[in-house]
């Protein structure tokens, strides 16, 4: 059974940057539509970035999504961080009929 593991979260200052990683174990991520979501307390889960298996990309402002196939890894680069970016960030893979979720990584933006 496939697994996704996120890392790279932590505490960042406003205006700073963080890079999150999502490593796949099992699914070959280059064949999957990959998404990053985030969820803050009391709010619905929100899509922040997506890259499909054709290479089409959607990102919110200040975010960049990329994939390194040789590492079976998806990255989310976040810049000019704001307090409202504070959330748990989740990686999601849609690989044909199969969907996978990571457990999330906490990002806290605070001075």
| Residue owning tokens 């991520």 | 29
pLDDT beyond 80 at 1:
no
* Local confidence band at 28 (pLDDT 50, 70, 90 cut-offs): confident
* Local confidence band at 12 (pLDDT 50, 70, 90 cut-offs): very high
- The whole-angstrom separation of Cα 68 and Cα 45 is 25
Cβ atoms of residues 57 and 36 within 8 Å: no
Each residue's pLDDT tens digit, 84-100: 999 999 999 999 999 99
Which two three-digit tokens encode residue 50? 């997506």
- The whole-angstrom separation of Cα 104 and Cα 92 is 10
CA dihedral 100, 48, 18, 34 (to 10 degrees): 30
């Amino acid at each position: 059974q496939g697994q996704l593991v996120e890392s790279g979260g932590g505490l960042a200052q406003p205006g700073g940057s963080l890079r999150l990683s999502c490593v796949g174990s099992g699914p070959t991520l280059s064949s999957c539509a990959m998404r990053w979501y985030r969820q803050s307390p009391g709010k619905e889960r929100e899509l922040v970035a997506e890259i499909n298996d054709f290479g089409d990309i959607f990102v919110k402002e200040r975010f960049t999504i990329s994939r390194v196939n040789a590492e079976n890894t998806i990255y989310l680069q976040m810049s000019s961080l704001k307090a409202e970016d504070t959330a748990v960030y989740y990686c999601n893979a849609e690989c044909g009929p199969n969907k996978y979720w990571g457990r999330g990584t906490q990002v806290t933006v605070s001075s």
